[in-house]
Amino acid sequence: DTGVSQDPRHKITKRGQNVTFRCDPISEHNRLYWYRQTLGQGPEFLTYFQNEAQLEKSRLLSDRFSAERPKGSFSTLEIQRTEQGDSAMYLCASSLYTLGYTFGSGTRLTVV
């Protein structure tokens, strides 16, 4: 297993466009988390899945954001009508229940 993979590593998009990021967790991990990290800040929790069920969403996750984890494997995070304030690094992590997290290397989004 190569760990948690995120794709793409970098994404530059124009304001108003939609973007989608993908996260492939460690195969035996049943939990998957999304975090957002802006410059100079620590990561902030966005949402998490246990298997295919989305169990918690932060109030940071506006209605322009949607996350899915079909079949409890990979996950996608979509941002519709991107705004400059969405520019950040989006981190994915996975775990087996409440055991230790493994993070991916993140997707850096720049909205111009």
Partner 1 sequence: AQTVTQSQPEMSVQEAETVTLSCTYDTSESDYYLFWYKQPPSRQMILVIRQEAYKQQNATENRFSVNFQKAAKSFSLKISDSQLGDAAMYFCAYRSTGTASKLTFGTGTRLQVTL
Q: Can you give the binding site for partner 1, defined by CB under 8 A?
A: 31, 33, 35, 40-45, 48, 55-56, 89, 91, 93, 95, 97-98, 100-101, 103-106, 108
CB of 41 to partner 1, least distance (A): 6
Let me know: does 96 contact 89? Beta carbons within 8 Å. Answer: no
Tokens of 14: 């124009």
Tokens of 39: 């410059």
Containing H/E element for 56? strand 53-57
CB of 75 to partner 1, least distance (A): 15
Tokens of 51: 């298997």
The nearer residue to partner 1, 89 or 111, going by C-beta atoms, is: 89
CB of 110 to partner 1, least distance (A): 14
